[in-house]
Structure 1
Amino acid sequence: MDIQKLKQEAAWHSLSWESIYSLLDTSGKGLTNEESSARLSQFGPNKLPESSKTTLSRIILHQVMNPLIFILVLAALVSILIGEGEDAIFILLVILINTGLGTYQEYNAEKSAQALQQLMKIQAKVHRSGQIKTVSSEDLVPGDLVYLESGMKVPADIRLWEASVLEIDESFLTGESLASKKKTGNLELEITVPDRINMAFAGATVLSGRGKGVVVETGISTQVGKIAQNVAKGTSAKPPLILRMEKFIKQITFFIVGLSFIIAFILNWQGMDWASIFFFVVALAVSAIPEGLPVALTVALSIATRRMAKRNVIVRRLNAVEALGSCTIIASDKTGTLTVNQQTAKKILLDNGNRYSVLGEGYNGEGAIEAENYEKDDPQALEALVRVGIMANEGGLRKEGSDWIHHGDAMDVALLGLGFKHGRDPEEMKQSYHTGGIIPYESERKFSGAFYTLEDEIRFGAKGALETILGFCHCDQEFIDQKVKEAENYASKGYRVLAFAEGVSLTFEKKDTYSEEDIPKLHFLGMVCFIDPLRSEAKESIKKCKQAGIKVLMITGDHPATALNISKELGIAVDGRQVVTGQMLLDAGSTESEAYHKLVINSSVFARVSPIQKLEIVDVLIKAGEFVAVTGDGVNDAPALKRANIGVAMGSGTDVAKEVGSMIVTDDNFSSIVAGVEEGRFAYDNVRKVIFLLISTGGALVLLVLLAILFGLPLPFLAVQLLWLNLVTNGIQDVALAFEGGEPGAMKKRPRKPSETIFNSVMINQTLVASITIGVIVFGFWYWLIEIQKMSEYHARDLALLLMVFMQNFHAFNSRSETTSIFKIPLKRNWILVIGVIAAQGIHILSMHIPFMQKALKIGPITLQEWFYVILLAIPILIVMELFKLYTNRKSESEK
């Protein structure tokens, strides 16, 4: 067999059987054992390459591959070189704590299931050497003759030559909410995967019927395999926090390096030798780096993951927490996310003009049937329609404890649920009416029917497409036109419509199979309208997204008309001009073309798109500067989930989607995704608060040192005291600040611009004000102690250090909000911060009285009076920042 020729031929759905047999060198009898063994050596096993497992060492490496960690390691090495061993120990302790916290969080969240392989590890029934045998799906080869039956997993990509009432669930691959009804025969060349109804694809589930076909693709060449290749080759877009932190690290690095050169020039001008200048500048650079930031950042994100878990969002990677809050677009799957993914009877239209609404949703019997109007009091008409829906039914629905168990076609299950809501037990009805025979549903027939005994009569009930059912009834053309128009009206609203009819059979006789010739003339009963209902919270959640400045896109494998109507009801689209189909994308040409980009950017609904097209849509949006969150549950969603800035997998979806996604929504609910967005915004706000606290106090320390140099004073703090402030005093408070509850109104702000850095104008201004205020006050105090009071450097440093601790204590409360007064923020929103501030102050006071700490920090006890005076000196930082918030708020209001 020519493998190269075989690989080039991918349009199996369009080929004649003669061409297929020729290409595969097989026949309608399958292969021999010898041929299959030879081909297994040639093509390899029918499985996908196994991905490497996520190991503990890899997780640890992921944690330390952080630019700020690199700077801290360098700082530790320099500290050792200049003889500051205590500094190095402090820094290395920070690295150890940060790595430990991050590793613990990621290791607990990581679920490294070998998902794609599990889809392929199944048994297959094949015809080899004249015998039907069961083999491992891994042993299948192109040319094998395979049998399919209800409940089986499809073991490879198969071209069907027999399909008897064969329905296959391919939603994991195509995104279609309804089962694919299979048939044989050649199809057109240029059709998408969902429309290839003469094919069965690896990993799909046979829901009903039976079939037979020839294996045409195995392993990596299957549709699942092609997706696996895209996932493997695809690259994930960096989360927004990583992008912003990288910019932040560059900013702070350039700032410190630039400042170091300036200070070095000044010191040299003052007469200090270059060796002393080098060691001093390095020490100052170490003190300016916010050593506590990695730990605080990790804690803030870890807290957010726990809060998200309470709102049904499981985070697998810490960086994903903030990414969801930064998204500007949510590209959502329809089925199961915006809808409940369970067809439900919602409207009953009887022949006599009576109309009913059906309450409840999903595959269960909970709900009721309520009359909308009574044009004719005829309760038997409703009973007859429900009866036909139960009798001409191959599905199953029963209650076990508090759970409802179902199987079979979605429409059949929905009709059984309708029976329960009408007060009828389907199983009891089937048994009491003694089914005499059935005509099963086939796509060519477009109906199903059943014979049953009722009141000593043999009756036949049928349900199916309206035109087909009307053909069995006594109806004039005016009546037919009226019903067709009514059905089209509901279909245009996204409903699927089934018609029902019943009649008495006078010539019934028991036999194995029945055909249309056995059907008596029927009486038209009416129609039932079905829909996959919207989740009750979805509409409000999308409205909330709009208020938050987030655009919601719907990407689905469903029909464009269905997608349009659901999107209009949800408020995603206004009219059909915002709906794009997979075919329209193909017609637009290359994904790099302007026409393709305009089509994607200006649309809100994408229907009948392939997995690769979904990936391309996401890629275009990211290149356009959007931060994109993608939701999905199937194998078809995996490439897009990986490519997105943030991939959100559904809890009930395939393991493939969960493996690729950065987070998992356990209840499959769009409202939970929106809740995750809110928590993500809270997390980013808290990260900003922590950075503001650390950088403003760090900036104050740098300013303090600069002023001391300029005025020719001794250095206010020793290196170990600087690290004590950064790692212990502030370290407790910044971690406590990470527990801050979310500020009201977070979901009424527009998303941050992708180009926005952490240090935007607001952060820069407030950091400068806070740094200058703290730095000037502490320097003034230091100048007064040294120059005016002529106090010893030892005791002066003791008092100055206490003042800095108090400044940090008060400033931690300033950092709780960028705009809201600290007196308007309830303490109960973060009791941990209150405890943290008290602890930071308490630890410092305790250190003043412990000999070991006195020696290490070069500090000693102070009087109660001195302690009181220092508190008064720290209060101005509260007043200044309150005035700054008042000014910026008024300025913001005037600019609106």
Structure 2
Amino acid sequence: MDHRRSTQDRPWHAQSPDDVLQALDSQREGLSHDETATRLARHGPNQLPVGKARPPLLRFLLQFHSTLIYVLLAAALIAGFLGHALDATVILAVVLVNAVVGFLQEGKAEKALAAIRSLVSPRAHVLRGGQRLSVPVADLVPGDVVLLEAGDRVPADLRLLRARGLLIDEALLTGESMAAQKHDQPVPPEAPLGDRHSMAYSGTLVASGQASGVVVATGSGTELGRIGKLVASVEAETTPLLRQVDRFGRLLALGVLVAGALLFAYAVWLQGWDPVEALLAAVAIAVSVIPEGLPAVITVTLAIGVQRMAGRNAVIRRLPAVETLGATSVICTDKTGTLTRNEMTARRIVGQQRVLLVEGEGYAPHGSLQAQEGDDAGALAEVAGLLRCAVLCNDAQLRLQAGTWSVVGDPMEGALLALGAKAGLDPAHERAQWPRLDEIPFDAAHRFMAALHRGPGGEAMAFVKGAPERLLEMAGGTDPAGRQRWTEAIDAAASQGERLLAFGWKAMPAGTTQLRFEDLVQGVEVLGLVSFMDPPRPEVLRAIAECRDAGIQVKMITGDHAATAAAIARELRLADEPVAITGADLDEVADADLPELVLRTQVFARTSPEHKLRIVRALQQRGQVVAMTGDGVNDAPSLKQADVGVAMGIKGTEAAKEAAEMVLLDDNFASIVHAVNEGRTVFDNVRKVFAWTLPTNGGEVLGVVICVLFGLTLPMTAAQILWVNLATSATLGLALAFEPPEPGVMDRPPRDVGAPLVSGFMLWRIVLVSVLFAAATLGLLQVELQRGESVDAARTLVVNALIAMEIGYLFNVRYLGMRSFTWRGALGTPAVLLAIGALVLAQAAFTYLPAMNRWFATVPLSLAELAMAMGAGVALMLLLEAEKWLTRRRGADSPGAGPAPLDRFDTASGRP
């Protein structure tokens, strides 16, 4: 018999313990030693498979497999061919740094799988041949009987045979913060994983109680193993910016080759140039076009974004994820602890006649109780017995550490202690006045807890708390009108997504010291109900409103019940009318119909790892850029599939963190919104770098092309062009990386990731600025030559003028949607002023140091010539400011409204 089928393949949870034992050919005393050895040989060890990783050398070499990297390597070869080893070394260093960063960030899937494997406990307690043994977890086989107690990590998927007071923390599989109550009774076959109370799953943690269970799945057949397979099956996607840069690099490389070949042929065959000179001219064009420093500037821009995000509790694990956040159009988030405080709070007390509203949040014993109708004192007197029951029928403790209240024990019991304190009850005093004599621990099979106490007058009183329906059964003689009132209160709480506990008591005969189940079958007086809610974080409401203003959809994907999730969604205003569906509903939807359904739904409840993965993929099929939050192992596949996986730093598992691109140090949804804001700023700055780099390079190219076409002296040598490109990229280009956010960065919709990197407005700017640069450089070159200056002197002036124009254009491009003649525009950021100072010093060395004169064939300039160069920069800025003013007069949008400033114009026409 093949016992390796996972719990998904066979509904073990729906079968009785005896039927499961029979199907696995096992018994409650466990398997014999010979049988376990046979099964171990047949099924293999109980461990997750280790994937075959790529060799480190291959991973490193693959970092160079990029069109833009090939273009940069070609630039380095060109520089080396021209004898400029320094330039070639700088370019190669840029390429190498990018490769090392990529290499260090590789292997995310392997790390995620390793983190999942680490969740399996090393040893397990089993029964074999009726004897209790401790064996390595890897030796467990289907049919083994495992013993569990508090603190154990479940070593395999188990069908429980016996359970007493068993609570298991299944957060890593379900995302639920509350420990799941377990019993050995079958549950319906269609029950989702979070409701399979007769199962214990590999990797989960026993919070309290004891149990025994038979192994039904091991290794890759467990729920944990199935999630590992999902993680391994997800292929990593490149970020939108990297896809755009790669596409741009391919087009750029093709353009360089075609333009260089055509100009070489034209110069040799039609102009009669010497082939060597023609080749040098083609090389100059190639060097002019290639933005050697662009990858480094992009990397630095992303790195600065990483630093800013770290200051707002968001740690980026993969550098390109920074700009992907800026393109995020959908955030899929967990509920518990991310949108909510992950602290149960009593919200309402429903007494026999009146209702009290409870103020305060979390476990802090601060707040008040106010009657919904009537006077507070009368309402408090009515529920005094309920409050005493809540404090006494309770095993939790509240603890104050570093100004923060927390609970030791069950979260709902901690909320009850806080509730009692708000009403003026001191738990220590009450427990001293009413010492406990006996108890019936909570068990999912009977759904209540009872505690026997002796009162100050010697009376014996049984206090009971549990499921409302169960206490109504134990009340027995409750009048129909009273039962109807309790039922209506239960339905109202369920519609609000609140959890409910009922409270009751029963006077016992004097001298009673033991409490039995049969004592509570009838005669329990129902004292009232308490509703609980894990309240939303106060800052999340503002963050979600900001998302809606920014055109970003927020979708809640949780393992919680639909009613609870929908209530939180309404309170947080995820939508005007949030739509909620369950994982079972998703199972009925075909893949082709899923994207449309997912887009119009805000709440997904009782979801499995497969559901989350389908949701993310469906959104991506509709062109959405998805950020996905998660903390458990069950979230790892969808975190890896998402464009940006966001793991929780406090309660997140290592598997989730390894699969994610970003980790939140405070587990707070608002930090994601801050990160999106920073991501948009990063992308704006990257676009500014392109908007500044391409026109300046275009001016260099256009000048060389005109000279080749008309047989004129080249305005610069290839080495001088390399100097200009590298010097300005290392200073002015980097300065743009430090630009602060544009006004209204979160008031515009997400950018279209399918839009070209070079928009219509950028194309217009490239043409306009290229023409102005070429006209200025050629004009200055001819003026100098007409004055009888040497070619080296004329080229030195041209280089200095080009530097001055690039500085002037830098001030202009920082504010493409508003005028630059402001104090902020004139002074720039400290980074801009520092970059200009460094560039001026470098250019002074280029012009006046003898060694630089020899290397680059330059000559010192006079003050008048320097003034001419500076005048070119000022004139360019004035012209472009005039163009900007005309654009605004023609009705361009303000920079704080609508799309990003670089995308404000019609991309089809290529005109502003």
Q: Which moved more, 1:276-285 or 1:851-860?
A: 276-285
Counterpart amino acid of residue 837 in structure 1: I
Contact 1:356/1:370 (<8 A) preserved: yes
- CA 1:254–1:279 in structure 2 vs 1: closer, same or farther (change >3 Å)? same
- CA 1:671–1:417 in structure 2 vs 1: closer, same or farther (change >3 Å)? same
Contact 1:171/1:177 (<8 A) preserved: yes
CA RMSD of aligned residues (A): 2.8
Tell me the residue number matched to 2:907.
none
Quick check: 1:817 aligned with 2:821?
no
What are structure 1's unaligned runs of at least 5 residues? Answer: none
Tell me the residue number matched to 1:638.
636
Residue by residue over 1:24-68, the C-alpha shift from the partner in whole angstroms, topping out at 9 and shown as x without a partner, is 232111122333233333322222134578998688556544432
User: Does the residue aligned with 2:818 lie in a helix, a strand or coil?
Assistant: coil
Tell me the residue number matched to 1:626.
624
Tell me the residue number matched to 1:387.
388
Tell me the residue number matched to 1:708.
707
Tell me the residue number matched to 1:32.
32
Tell me the residue number matched to 1:317.
318
Counterpart amino acid of residue 252 in structure 1: L
- CA 1:252–1:481 in structure 2 vs 1: closer, same or farther (change >3 Å)? same
Contact 2:551/2:749 (<8 A) preserved: yes
Tell me the residue number matched to 2:130.
130
Tell me the residue number matched to 2:724.
725
Structure 1 residue 153 displacement after superposition: 1.4
Tell me the residue number matched to 1:459.
461
Structure 1 residue 259 displacement after superposition: 2.5
User: Does the residue aligned with 2:119 lie in a helix, a strand or coil?
Assistant: helix
Structure 1 residue 207 displacement after superposition: 2.0
Structure 1 residue 404 displacement after superposition: 4.2
Structure 1 residue 106 displacement after superposition: 8.8
Contact 1:778/1:804 (<8 A) preserved: yes
Structure 1 residue 5 displacement after superposition: 7.5
Contact 1:79/1:88 (<8 A) preserved: yes
- CA 1:544–1:61 in structure 2 vs 1: closer, same or farther (change >3 Å)? farther
Tell me the residue number matched to 1:229.
229
User: Does the residue aligned with 2:377 lie in a helix, a strand or coil?
Assistant: coil
1:296-335 alignment to 2 at 5 Å?
A: 296-335=297-336
- CA 1:191–1:301 in structure 2 vs 1: closer, same or farther (change >3 Å)? same
**Cα separation, 1, equivalents of 2:792 and 2:844:** 16
Contact 1:33/1:128 (<8 A) preserved: yes
Quick check: 1:468 aligned with 2:470?
yes
Structure 1 residue 468 displacement after superposition: 3.0
**Cα separation, 2, equivalents of 1:396 and 1:790:** 93
**Cα separation, 2, equivalents of 1:552 and 1:8:** 30
Contact 1:322/1:683 (<8 A) preserved: yes
Contact 2:288/2:698 (<8 A) preserved: no
**Cα separation, 2, equivalents of 1:342 and 1:203:** 24
Structure 1 residue 183 displacement after superposition: 2.2
- CA 1:17–1:707 in structure 2 vs 1: closer, same or farther (change >3 Å)? same
Residue by residue over 1:149-207, the C-alpha shift from the partner in whole angstroms, topping out at 9 and shown as x without a partner, is 22221111001121222222212112334332222233433332223221110111122
1:415-494 alignment to 2 at 5 Å?
A: 415-456=416-457, 457-473=459-475, 475-494=478-497
What are structure 2's unaligned runs of at least 5 residues? Answer: 899-912
Tell me the residue number matched to 1:527.
529
1:143-158 alignment to 2 at 5 Å?
A: 143-158=143-158
Tell me the residue number matched to 1:195.
195
- CA 1:382–1:397 in structure 2 vs 1: closer, same or farther (change >3 Å)? same
User: Does the residue aligned with 2:821 lie in a helix, a strand or coil?
Assistant: helix
Counterpart amino acid of residue 882 in structure 1: E
Structure 1 residue 514 displacement after superposition: 1.9
- CA 1:713–1:864 in structure 2 vs 1: closer, same or farther (change >3 Å)? same
- CA 1:9–1:694 in structure 2 vs 1: closer, same or farther (change >3 Å)? closer
Equivalent in 602, 606, 609 of residue 608 of structure 1: 606
Equivalent in 539, 545, 549 of residue 541 of structure 2: 539
Tell me the residue number matched to 1:408.
409
**Cα separation, 2, equivalents of 1:216 and 1:566:** 37
**Cα separation, 2, equivalents of 1:28 and 1:428:** 46
1:113-128 alignment to 2 at 5 Å?
A: 114-128=114-128
1:736-885 alignment to 2 at 5 Å?
A: 736-786=735-785, 788-824=786-822, 826=824, 830-885=829-884
Tell me the residue number matched to 2:14.
14
**Cα separation, 2, equivalents of 1:53 and 1:672:** 34
Counterpart amino acid of residue 764 in structure 1: L
Tell me the residue number matched to 1:68.
68
Residue by residue over 1:292-323, the C-alpha shift from the partner in whole angstroms, topping out at 9 and shown as x without a partner, is 00111110011000000001110001011111
Structure 1 residue 566 displacement after superposition: 1.2
Structure 1 residue 857 displacement after superposition: 1.8
**Cα separation, 2, equivalents of 1:3 and 1:496:** 38
Structure 1 residue 869 displacement after superposition: 2.6
Q: Which moved more, 1:696-705 or 1:277-286?
A: 277-286
Structure 1 residue 19 displacement after superposition: 4.7
Q: Given the two structures, how large is their TM-score scaled by the length of structure 2?
A: 0.92
Q: Given the two structures, how large is their TM-score scaled by the length of structure 1?
A: 0.93
**Cα separation, 1, equivalents of 2:426 and 2:751:** 55
Contact 2:75/2:292 (<8 A) preserved: no
Structure 1 residue 679 displacement after superposition: 0.5
Contact 1:152/1:205 (<8 A) preserved: yes
- CA 1:686–1:56 in structure 2 vs 1: closer, same or farther (change >3 Å)? farther
Between the aligned residues of both structures, percent identity stands at: 36
User: Does the residue aligned with 1:826 lie in a helix, a strand or coil?
Assistant: helix
Structure 1 residue 733 displacement after superposition: 1.3
**Cα separation, 2, equivalents of 1:780 and 1:52:** 62
User: Does the residue aligned with 1:438 lie in a helix, a strand or coil?
Assistant: strand
Counterpart amino acid of residue 89 in structure 1: T
**Cα separation, 1, equivalents of 2:557 and 2:9:** 29
**Cα separation, 2, equivalents of 1:410 and 1:119:** 24
**Cα separation, 2, equivalents of 1:825 and 1:99:** 41
Contact 1:740/1:829 (<8 A) preserved: no
Structure 1 residue 839 displacement after superposition: 1.1
Counterpart amino acid of residue 243 in structure 2: L
1:219-368 alignment to 2 at 5 Å?
A: 219-267=219-267, 268-274=269-275, 276-361=277-362, 363-368=363-368
1:475-514 alignment to 2 at 5 Å?
A: 475-507=478-510, 509-511=512-514, 513-514=515-516
Contact 2:284/2:717 (<8 A) preserved: no
Counterpart amino acid of residue 622 in structure 1: Q
Contact 1:86/1:720 (<8 A) preserved: no
Tell me the residue number matched to 1:560.
562
- CA 1:193–1:892 in structure 2 vs 1: closer, same or farther (change >3 Å)? farther
1:636-675 alignment to 2 at 5 Å?
A: 636-651=634-649, 652-675=651-674
Structure 1 residue 335 displacement after superposition: 1.4
Residue by residue over 1:561-614, the C-alpha shift from the partner in whole angstroms, topping out at 9 and shown as x without a partner, is 1121111221224446x22211111122x32x3x33332232221111211011
Q: Which moved more, 1:742-751 or 1:165-174?
A: 165-174
**Cα separation, 2, equivalents of 1:519 and 1:459:** 15
Structure 1 residue 73 displacement after superposition: 1.0
- CA 1:4–1:53 in structure 2 vs 1: closer, same or farther (change >3 Å)? closer
Counterpart amino acid of residue 178 in structure 2: L
Structure 1 residue 725 displacement after superposition: 0.5
**Cα separation, 1, equivalents of 2:334 and 2:890:** 42
Aligned residue pairs, count: 888
Structure 1 residue 220 displacement after superposition: 0.9
